[in-house]
Amino acid sequence: MMISIIIPTYNEKENLPRLVNKIYKVLNCHLSYEIIIVDDNSPDGTGVIADVLSKKYNEINVIHRNGFPDLSRAVVEGIKHSKGNIIGVMDADLSHPPEVIPKLIKPILDNKSEFVIGSRYLTGKIKKWTFSRKIISRGAIILARPLTSVSDPMSGFFFFKKNVINDTELSPIGYKIILEILVKGNYKKVKEIEYIFKDREFGNSKLNYKNYLKYLIHLILLYTYKIKKHLGVIVSDFNL
């Protein structure tokens, strides 16, 4: 079984080499894996750094995207090019500890779950966040609660079997692709693993009011999708 870890990047030149090195130390000689770095035409030269890393590590493949940066669409692009049976997604800013990866993939390898999420809110912790950012995060989770019961539907650190999204059209908006997969994916069980989230040391956060607006639009689209799907089931049952 092969694992594809997708890392979307935008202006992460200081963080990316450190992250790749840590992943290599955690996974090397234990699992068959590939790292797919999808760079959104970073002006700081992250794409160049990614190309250099791909020459050093055979496991790394690099995709260069042009146009407006979009984390979710970068992940979708990475999935399209992935070879693994298991897909993983994590941020490049070192907020997601590579040491937790084995814990996230174990339930999948043991066939105990098809979808495993690294949760900041199960019993985990968040370091270096301002009070306002914590409030915004909690508010975003509350808005998504009718769509999913998981504790951290805003997580950017998760793994799932690739067949979870077979025949599924992913069309996310903004930076939270996990919600798209949770709502549209085909799976029976989701497992959450707690971890300690540590905010970035280098570079700047990509969150801004535009991303918050995109999140609200994405929620509306997902609610619409879920309602239509539910109504379709009702109509189908009625016709029977």
Percentage above 70 pLDDT, the chain: 88
User: What are the structural domains of the chain?
Assistant: 2-239 (3.90.550.10)
pTM of structure: 0.89
pLDDT at residue 207 in the model:
59
Rounded to 5 degrees, φ, ψ at 161 are: -70, 140
SS3 letters for the chain?
CEEEEEEEECCCCCCHHHHHHHHHHHHCCCCEEEEEEEECCCCCCHHHHHHHHHHHCCCEEEEECCCCCCHHHHHHHHHHCCCCCEEEECCCCCCCCHHHHHHHHHHHHCCCCCEEEEECCCCCEEECCCHHHHHHHHHHHHHHCCCCCCCCCCCCCEEEEHHHHCCCCCCCCCCCHHHHHHHHCCCCCEEEEECEEECCCCCCCCCCHHHHHHHHHHHHHHHHHHHHHHHHHHHHHHHC
pLDDT at residue 125 in the model:
61
The confidence band for 204, taking pLDDT boundaries of 50, 70 and 90, is low
